[in-house]
Amino acid sequence: MTAPTLGMPPSPGLPRRLPARRTGDQRYRALEVGWSPVCSSPAPGDSRAGAGRQDGVVTETVDLVPALARPDLLAGPVLAALRGWEGERPVEEIAVAEIDPALADTAEFCVRYGVPPEASANCVVVAGKRGGQTRYAACVVLATTRADVNGVVRRLLDVRKASFASTETAVAETGMEYGGITPIGLPPQWPVLIDRAVADSVRVVVGSGVRRSKLWLPGRVLATLPGAEVIDGLARPVSP
């Protein structure tokens, strides 16, 4: 396998030192992040109250590897999509890292792993009915924003009303875990709506289909997914 090509220049909101290939094993060095304030995760097996929690600047690490090198960290549909990859960008640009599944929800993940919300993207499933049939779409927006569901998304789905799909529906339709749903490996008939800010991100963190890991990849990779459409104004800023 060719070593992943993530050696792109850093940008605001991204790690100060990008991962580099280790000699001989096609793995990445641990990704070091040091934004302040964050809380680091306790070491495995450390049951002390508050273990791993520090004040001020801390460094939390994740071990980034090529996504296909760790199929155990990918949901079935995600793994199938990567193995049959036909995207314009090489699949080697997609990396995966194992995380604590209890910290998979975006807000907690960003705080505990020191990833700025503007470097993390959420994939939400939206549904609406037309002519008795339910239409689905996936919306990918930065964690600092919310999808304009009953404005932009409703018009694109061509339905009278759109809303977030229930947890049960989203899990059943995607074959992924709630809190880990990702735009890679979604049903082929679904439109995948990518906010312009996500597509323009040098690197962004998204789900892997399971709660115990995250994917790191350039925004342009998402923009070239099957069924993807980059939408200006898909998302609105979250009010403070």
Confidence of residue 240 (pLDDT cuts 50, 70, 90): low
DSSP state of 120: B
Residues paired with 135 in a beta bridge: 128
Q: What is the gyration radius of the CA atoms in the chain, in angstroms?
A: 18
Contact between residue 195 and residue 231 where contact means Cβ atoms under 8 Å apart: yes
For tokens 């071990």, name the residue.
63
Tell me which DSSP letter residue 64 carries.
-
With beta carbons less than 8 A apart as the criterion, state whether 125 and 209 touch: no
Which one has a higher pLDDT value, 9 or 152? 152
**First-last CA distance in the chain:** 44
Q: pLDDT per residue over 94-138, tens digit each?
A: 999 999 999 999 998 998 888 999 999 999 999 999 988 999 999
For the chain, domain boundaries: 121-237
pLDDT at 187 over 50: yes
How far is 238 from 71, CA to CA, in rounded Å?
34
Comparing C-alpha atoms, which of 57, 199, 64, 103 is closest to residue 142? 199
Pairwise CA distance, residues 200 & 222, whole Å = 10
pLDDT at 65 over 90: yes
CATH number at 121-237 = 3.90.960.10
Mean pLDDT for the chain overall: 80
Determine what percent of the chain is predicted with pLDDT higher than 90: 67
